Every structure is written in C-alpha cells, then in structure tokens.
C-alpha cells in the first residue's frame, strides 16, 4: 500500500458531522420513538437537511441502528466501570426525572426487530454479547475482591442481572409505577452478593 | 326488576361459541403475532366466517384484548396456586419445546399498546393488578408458612418477581438462548426465600 497522506481535517470534519447527526437523532428517537421520528422531525432536531443527513447514513433505519449501537457502547463502558446494577439505577433515576418513554419505545423497537429481522438480529448479537461480557468481567473482579456469592457461577449471575435489566426496561416502557423499584434493585444487588 | 325467564340454552350456546372463537384466535395470534393474524387467517383457524366472528367481538382489536384478558385470568389462577416462579418455569418449558414466538410477540404487542393507547392501558390496569395481588397473596401465605425471607416487605418481593417475569418475557421474545435460564430462575426463587 502507498503511504498517502491522510486527509486529516476532512476526516475530522466528517466524524464531527456524524457525531452531530447521531446526537440530534438520539434526541429525536427518544422524544418521538422510532415510528414518530419522521424524516421531517429528524431534520428539525438535527438542524440539517435530509440530503446532508442521508449522506452520512443510508436511511432512517441505519441511523436508528447507529444510535442504538452507540448507546450499547456507552452501556458497555458503564457496566465495565460500575456494573449492570448501576446502569439500572441510572435508568430508574432518569425515568423519575425526565420523559424516557421515547427512549424506552426505541428499546422495544430493538426487541421487535430482533424477533422479526434476522439481519438486524445478527448485527445486534455482537453488541448484546459485548454487554454480557462486560457484565461477566466485572462480576469476576468482584468475585476476586470477595464481595460476590461463591455458590453460583459467574455466567448465571450475569444472566440474572441481565434478566432484571430486561424486566426494568419492559416495566418502565409500559409506564408502570416506579416508586418501589429502588428497593427491588437493592434486592437484585443483594442476590448476587455474599450474604 | 322483572323476574323474566333467562333464555338459558341460547346463552349457553353464545358462551360456547365465544369460547370456540377465543381458542382459535389464541392459536392464530400465537402462531402469527398480532400483525400477522389477518382476518383471513383468523377465519381459517377459528373455522368461522368474519361475519360470525365479529358478531361476538367488535373487531380484531377486541378479539385480541379478550384473548389477552383470558390469558391474564389463567395466569392469576396459576400464580394463586403455584406462584409466579412456577409461571416462569412453565413459560421456559414451553419456550424450549414449542414455538412461542407468536405468543411472546403478542405480549410485546400488549406492552406497545400500554405505551401508546391510554384507553387500552386503563382497561389493562385491572388485569395487571389482579396478577400483582395474586402474587402478593401467595407470598403472604408463604411468609406465614415461614419459608420466605422476613427482612423485605411482601410488596417489594412481589415486584421483584414481576421484574423477573417481565425480563423473561423480553428475553424469550428477542429469541436469546434459554439454556441457563433454569439456573437463573433458581436464583430468583432463592432471592425471596429464607436463606
């Protein structure tokens, strides 16, 4: 391969523009859900024309997937540092103070896609596995630190936490009351720890 | 009120016909999901014309709600007798041996409705509360029998189990692997019991 000079500024500009689009799209999907986030609303929220937006992303679907993948990457980072229970606590706090209906709707949209769209399911599996792996790694560190229960394999504890996370998403997405959920999450956390 | 003779046979016939329609509709929704259960498919599965079907139920939507309410009533009965963990074990066993994708899709359809259709949410709230109440009552009996942990209120334990149930529904609905879930359910059960 030739060692051609990289067009650095241009790439930086492209990256910045891409990030700008993702930020606006995230807000738009969160506010209106997948269906409600029309191209017109995406244009308004992002502040760019559809031509500019779809120069960077093939279509609304690709844009949605990019936002979802971005969110999954953020989740992996939070899980690695603070654990899946903390992700649940953060989600609960957000649900109590801001309108997360759209965001949750997007999560259910991901779930629907996983059922009905094998291509999407394949692309998504890697993201899903990254969250699972981060969860297992953090549990492993906790086990080494002696705070985890020792009688259940890490893989089972990780899946237990993921089950609780899925349950929380579905609970919040269906608009049910949140008042007791903090105590429920304490119980979830206690169930994986040394008693 | 007048004490008019009740047209007994006719009512029995109506009830039987209604039940027949519900049974066929349940199979159809389970097989094809809400969207996929077209009126044509409902006719085929039920073995009646659309005229006959919609003489008993206003529209596909009412039919879907009737099936969902029927399922919720069955779930309340199982919870009352065997508990919510057993409902989860039954669901897991079904998922391992038969195709429950359509049924699970219908559950997510209920979830979607709860978010987007306030009228549906209002009608559904009573069913949802009936399951919650059956769960609390059974936990209360278990507490009296001395098998339940004593340091967490019944209401919290019940919501913990419901969170796990919701998580299981979302997990299975998105077609993720089931192999470790039995061990996960053991952990869920252990978390509400006296250690």
**How many residues are there in chain B?**
195
pLDDT of A187 over the 60 cut = yes
Contacts of B191 in chain A (CB under 8 A): 187-188, 190-191
For residue A167, give the chain B residue with the closest CA. B167
Q: What is the pLDDT of residue A175?
A: 78
Per the CB < 8 Å rule, is B195 touching A190? no
Q: pLDDT for B74-103, tens place per residue? A: 999 999 999 999 999 999 998 888 777 777
Q: What is the DSSP letter of B148?
A: B
Task: For residue A4, give how far its alpha carbon lies from the nearest alpha carbon of chain B (Å).
Answer: 45
Cβ atoms A48, A21 nearer than 8 A: yes
B173 touches A: beta carbon within 8 Å: yes
What is the reported pLDDT for B47? 96
Res. A6 pLDDT band, cuts 50 70 90: low
Least confident of B35-39, B99-103, B151-155: B99-103
Average pLDDT over residues B4-14: 73
Chain B touched by A190 (CB under 8 Å): yes
**B191: closest chain A residue by CA:** A191
Mean pLDDT over each residue of chain B, to the nearest integer? 88
Residues of B in contact with A165 (CB under 8 A): 167
Any idea which of A22-26, B124-128, B178-182 has the lowest mean pLDDT? B124-128
**DSSP letters spanning A132-188:** HHHHHHHHHHHHHTT-B-SSS-HHHHHHHHHHHHHHHHHHHHTT---TTHHHHHHHH
The rounded distance, in Å, linking the Cα atoms of A74 and A151 is 31
pLDDT at A49 > cutoff 90: yes
Sign of the alpha-carbon dihedral angle for A10, A12, A16, A21: positive
In the DSSP assignment, the letter for residue A5 is P
Q: How far is CA A23 from CA A16, A57, A71, B154, in A?
A: 11, 13, 11, 42
- Give the C-alpha separation, A114 to A121, whole Å: 5
Measured in degrees and rounded to the nearest 5, phi and psi for residue A147 equal: -95, -10
Q: Residue B36 CA to chain centroid, in angstroms? A: 19
Distance CA A187, CA B191 (A): 8
- In angstroms, the separation between the Cα of residue B165 and the nearest Cα of chain A is 7
pLDDT band of residue A7 (cuts 50, 70, 90) is low
Give the pLDDT of residue B166.
Answer: 93
Residue B5 confidence (pLDDT) above 80: no
Q: Do B108 and A112 touch (CB under 8 A)?
A: yes
Q: Is B14 on the interface with A (CB under 8 A)?
A: no
Residue A59 phi, psi (nearest 5): -160, 180
% of chain A with per-residue pLDDT over 70 = 95
Picking from A162, A150, A164, A161, the residue whose alpha carbon sits closest to that of residue A194 is A150
Structure confidence at residue A86 (pLDDT):
95
Residue A152 has a pLDDT of 95
pLDDT higher than 80, residue A115? no
């Amino acid at each position: 391969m030739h060692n051609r000079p990289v067009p650095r500024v241009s790439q930086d500009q492209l990256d910045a523009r891409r990030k700008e689009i993702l930020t606006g799209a995230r807000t738009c999907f969160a506010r209106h859900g997948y269906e409600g986030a029309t191209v017109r609303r995406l244009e308004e929220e992002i502040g760019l024309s559809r031509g500019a937006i779809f120069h960077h992303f093939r279509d609304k679907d690709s844009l949605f997937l990019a936002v979802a993948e971005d969110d999954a990457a953020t989740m992996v980072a939070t899980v690695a540092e603070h654990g899946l229970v903390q992700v649940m606590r953060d989600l609960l706090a957000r649900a109590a103070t801001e309108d997360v209906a759209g965001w949750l709707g997007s999560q259910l949209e991901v779930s629907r896609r996983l059922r009905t769209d094998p291509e999407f399911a394949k692309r998504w599996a890697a993201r899903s596995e990254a969250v699972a792996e981060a969860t297992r790694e953090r549990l492993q560190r906790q086990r080494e630190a002696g705070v985890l229960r020792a009688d259940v394999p890490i893989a089972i504890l990780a899946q237990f936490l993921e089950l609780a996370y899925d349950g929380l998403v579905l609970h919040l997405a269906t608009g049910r009351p949140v008042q007791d959920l903090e105590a429920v999450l304490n119980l979830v956390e206690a169930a994986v720890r040394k008693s």
